[in-house]
Amino acid sequence: MKYDRINNSLYVKNRKQFIEKMVGHTLAIFNSNDIFPISADSTMPFQQHRDILSLTGVDQEESILVLFPSCSNEAHREILFLKETNDHIAVWEGEKLTKQAAFETSGIKTVYWLQQFPTIFKQLMADATGIYLNTNEHLRANTEVETREDRFIKKVKQDFPAHQVLKSAPIMHKIRSVKDAIELELMQKACKITEAGVRRLLQFIKPGVWEYEIEAELAHEFLRNRSKGFAYTPIVASGKNACVLHYIENNQQCKDGDVILLDVGAEYANYASDLTRCIPVNGKFTPRQNEVYNSVLHVKTEAQKLLVPGTIMTDYHKQVGLLMEEQLVNLKLITLDDIKNQNPEWPAYKKYFMHGTSHFLGLDTHDVGLWNEPIQAGMVFTCEPGIYIPEEGLGIRLEDDLVVQESGEPFNLMKDIPLIAEEIEDLMNA
Ligand code: GLY
Ligand code: MN
Ligand code: MN
């Protein structure tokens, strides 16, 4: 791990919160992610399942967490199963968690090797009446790949058809969406690393630079600050490329007079930061670029004020739509008639602003959370309005990461990252 060990009080607290929500004489199981193959003998770097991270901090493949709070054997109320290390693994892969290190990481006293899992699990299931299974219920989850968790769920359902099945996902979504102070510190660190990357770029970007050179500068700055790298695939989109929302080719040369949209963020300790800034290639926005930029900035400034306890995100998104509508009329991109005649299912502003304004942020970039409940202090959201005008070769989005406070405006984890157009120009020309 590149990051410093995290205080395990975070995981003790998260497990306590999970257990408090469990009902009946039941247990809950959480599996790690697989290491995904590429081909021949290569694999993707390991990415731990976010729920295991959230409940244990154990950042190692094949680990399993069992929670069985009503188990008569006190030692089995929390169990961690780990892959047993050996001399061969030590030589080829290096250090793996010992039982003591796993205890120090997670605060879980009972740590067994993985080969004991089938026997102990059978005993626990004979005692329990039901099992919490951990399915992926993220609203935008869309994958055909069967995960380690999916395989485990299939087997449990086959082997224990008489047990009651309960869902872990809504509990995890609740726990993970409200951040602990320890998590906020880690997220702040991720944002500071992103800031270092952006500041480096303001001195680097010039006409003729290639998008991938900008990506490389960021990667350099992130890695030298103990990040594993980008929290998500970076978007470095100059000119009209900025109008392709998921542009990740990053293979074009940046031209004098264009604006570059950068949607980039460092991860730190598996926590994501998620930033968007727009930068003029030659260090100076044209009057039109400036006008569009300031419209987006206005929507962002007003929208983020709505991220207060009690807000319902569907209402929030409607209100942001109205803010955007006003700006698009000012920019002469839509007319009052367009609004009068619009399809309520797809309002006129969507022609130039077709994505959502905010999402939960945390261990995942598009983090889990309960979208229909009022938002609470400690939740972290992005705020990222944008205006995309392909006919002008211009796309502007501005995005910061915001912590909902008990009262008042949210705390901006990216408050020190240059945002005002003139400030960006001044830094580029310093
Ligand atoms: N970078 C992904 C997003 O902004 O949602
Ligand atoms: Mn983003
Ligand atoms: Mn985002």
**What is the pLDDT confidence band of residue 179, given thresholds at 50, 70 and 90?**
very high
Give yes or no for a contact between 159 and 118, defined as CB atoms under 8 angstroms apart. no
Which residue owns the Cα nearest ligand 1 atom 3? 274
Q: Indicate the SS3 state at residue 316.
A: helix
Residue 351, pLDDT above cutoff 90? yes
Helix (H, G, I), strand (E, B) or coil at 313: helix
- C-alpha of residue 241 to centroid of ligand 3, in Å: 18
Amino acid occupying residue 57:
G
- Residue 207, pLDDT score: 98
Structure confidence by residue, pLDDT tens digits, 297-324: 999 999 999 999 999 999 999 999 999 9
**Which residue's alpha carbon is at the smallest distance from atom 4 of ligand 1?**
274
Beta-carbon contacts of residue 422 (< 8 Å; ≥ 6 apart): none
The pLDDT value recorded for residue 87 is 84
391-412 confidence digits (pLDDT tens): 999 999 999 999 999 999 999 9
Bridge partners, residue 122, by sequence: none
For the CA of 276, the nearest atom of ligand 1: 4
Instruction: Kindly state the DSSP code that residue 46 receives in the 8-state scheme.
Output: P
User: Residue 94 pLDDT more than 90?
Assistant: no
List Cβ neighbours of 42 (8 Å cut-off, separation of 6 or more).
none
Please give the distance, rounded to the nearest whole angstrom, from the Cα atom of residue 271 to the centre of ligand 2.
14
DSSP-based three-state secondary structure for 256: coil
CATH 3.90.230.10 intervals, the chain: 181-428
pLDDT in tens, 370-388: 999 999 999 999 999 999 9
Q: How confident is the model at residue 142 (pLDDT cuts 50, 70, 90)?
A: confident
Point out which residues pair with 37 in neighbouring strands: 43
- Mutate which of 300, 382, 388 for ligand 1? The one with the most ligand atoms within 8 Å of its CB, which is 382
Nearest Cα to 421, choosing from 243, 256, 262, 296? 296
Which conformational region is residue 24 in: left (phi greater than 0), alpha (psi within -120 to 50 degrees), or beta? left
Q: How far is CA 311 from CA 37, 318, 374, in A?
A: 42, 12, 5
Per-residue confidence (pLDDT) for residue 26, from 0 to 100:
98
Q: Tokens standing for 113?
A: 């090797």
Q: Which fold has domain 9-177?
A: Creatine Amidinohydrolase; Chain A, domain 1 (3.40.350)
Mean pLDDT, residues 101-119 taken together: 97
The answer to whether the beta carbons of residues 204 and 338 sit under 8 Å apart is: no
**Which residues form ligand 1's pocket by a CB distance below 6 Å?**
232, 263, 274, 359, 365, 384, 399
> Model confidence over 238-286: pLDDT tens digits?
999 999 999 999 999 999 999 999 999 999 999 999 999 999 999 999 9
pLDDT, residue 138, reads 92
- Model confidence pLDDT, tens digit, residues 201-223: 999 999 999 999 999 999 999 99
Architecture of domain 181-428: Alpha-Beta Complex (3.90)
- To test ligand 1's pocket by mutation, which of 215, 236, 263 has the most ligand atoms within 8 angstroms of CB? 263
Residue ranges, comma separated, of all CATH 3.40.350.10 domains in the chain are 9-177
Please state, in angstroms and as integers, the Cα–Cα distance from residue 365 to each residue in 134, 232, 304, 358, following that order.
Answer: 19, 7, 18, 11
Q: Which residue has the tokens 């009262």?
A: 407
Which residues, by Cβ under 5 Å, contact ligand 3, an ion? 274, 382
